[in-house]
Each structure stands twice: as structure tokens, then as C-alpha cells.
């Protein structure tokens, strides 16, 4: 069976550092035989959650925009690669709006107690890529917690992360081939049944 891999770029900068690492990870996934799709959130119309709580009754978001198509792609995927730049020690605005709209997923699971998939749980795994300019690795702590919570609602196992610090200027990641190599490797291993990822990988660049 050919696995579907969805790469979600949340950076507001086209071909920014997290975006470039995501593309490399998708190339790695394709090299392992997966069918990869790239999605750039900044190109879509996704409004913030308005906390109307209608999803507590329906399990669905009442705000109609591009979120519905993104959600369907995420649900159809066997593997997710989520990439974000670090803004004030957390995910960027575009990423947070997408994540907050996942309140309907949380409501479906924990309020309505309904299964996300009709035929039971699936083997779904995720990789998180984040790039920040600070030298401190603590900038990634909030991202770990946020993504773990989000993937729980999505019924996806958070299996690996590639966190790169001390990189800020757009395209500067190209000067660090080790990070690009790690992205390719993690993307490839994400779809490999023989070598399933079960650890977090952090890369610190000096």
C-alpha cells in the first residue's frame, strides 16, 4: 500500500527555512515510495476559532472557509509533516490558527466521545519541523507541548521532531547541509515500516 504523506508549511515566508526543510523531508518520503503532497497554509483562507462552541454539539466547525479541505487532507493522510518557524517561543500565527480550529476534533473526541475514523484507529504518524533564530533550545518547549496536544486530537502519533536553532535569515538553512540531510532522513524513515521512528531528533547548529 502506498502511504499518503501530507506536508503542511505554516511559514508566512515562501521558501523560508522551515519550508525548505519540509520540502526536503517530503523528498525523503517520496524516495521511500510514499505519495507526498505539499500544502502551504499562507495560500489559504483559514479564519481563527471564534469559540462559539457549536462543535460541542456537532463535532464539526461551523466556520466555513478553507479549513474544511485542509482537515480532510489531514484525515486522509497516513503521515503528517508539520513545519513552522518559531515566533516568540511557539508556533507562528498561521500554524496557531489551524491548530485552534482543531477544537472541533477535541470536542468530537472528548465531549461527544466519537471515534475519528469509522473503522477504528489507523497507523498514523507525524514529524514536526521547527526553525528559530534564538540560540536557546528552550524555544522549542512550547512547540512540543502544542503539537503533542494537537496530534492527540487528530489521532496521530507524534514520533519525531527536527528542531533547528540559530537560523533566522530566509534561506540560511541552505548553509547547513546537516539539517537538510536530517530532514531527508526523517522524511524517509517516517514512511518506513522496517525502521519506524519512535524518538525525537533535535539538531543544534552553531
Taking a C-beta distance cutoff of 8 angstroms, is the pair 92, 122 a contact? Answer: no
Instruction: Please report, for the chain, the start and end positions of each structural domain, with discontinuous segments joined by +.
Output: 4-203
Question: pLDDT at position 1, please?
Answer: 78
Q: What is the pTM of this model?
A: 0.94
Quickly name the fold that domain 4-203 has.
Rossmann fold (3.40.50)
Q: How confident is the prediction along the chain (206 residues), in pLDDT tens digits per residue?
A: 799 999 999 999 988 999 999 999 999 999 999 999 999 999 999 999 999 999 999 999 999 999 999 999 999 999 999 999 999 999 999 999 999 999 999 999 999 999 999 887 889 999 999 999 998 889 999 999 999 999 999 999 999 999 999 999 999 999 999 999 999 999 999 998 666 565 556 655 54
Q: Could you give the angle at which helices 17-31 and 177-190 cross, rounded to 10 degrees?
A: 40
Amino acid at each position: 500500500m502506498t502511504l499518503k504523506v501530507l506536508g503542511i508549511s505554516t511559514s508566512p515566508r515562501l521558501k523560508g527555512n522551515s519550508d525548505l526543510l519540509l520540502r526536503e523531508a517530503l523528498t525523503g518520503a517520496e524516495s521511500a515510495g510514499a505519495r507526498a503532497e505539499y500544502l502551504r497554509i499562507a495560500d489559504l483562507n483559514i479564519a481563527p476559532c471564534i469559540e462559539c462552541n457549536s462543535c460541542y454539539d456537532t463535532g464539526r466547525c461551523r466556520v466555513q472557509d478553507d479549513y474544511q479541505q485542509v482537515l480532510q487532507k489531514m484525515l486522509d493522510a497516513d503521515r503528517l509533516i508539520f513545519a513552522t518557524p518559531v515566533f516568540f517561543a511557539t508556533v507562528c500565527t498561521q500554524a496557531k490558527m489551524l491548530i485552534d480550529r482543531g477544537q472541533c476534533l477535541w470536542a468530537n473526541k472528548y465531549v461527544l466521545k466519537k471515534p475519528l475514523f469509522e473503522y477504528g484507529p489507523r497507523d498514523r504518524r507525524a514529524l514536526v519541523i521547527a526553525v528559530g533564530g534564538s540560540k536557546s533550545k528552550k524555544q522549542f518547549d512550547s512547540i512540543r507541548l502544542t503539537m503533542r496536544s494537537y496530534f492527540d486530537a487528530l489521532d496521530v502519533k507524534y514520533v519525531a521532531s527536527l528542531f533547528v536553532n540559530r537560523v533566522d535569515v530566509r534561506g540560511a538553512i541552505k548553509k547547513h547541509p546537516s539539517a537538510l540531510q536530517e530532514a531527508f532522513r526523517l522524511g524517509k524513515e517516517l514512511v518506513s515500516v522496517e525502521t519506524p521512528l519512535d524518538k525525537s531528533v533535535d539538531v543544534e547548529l552553531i
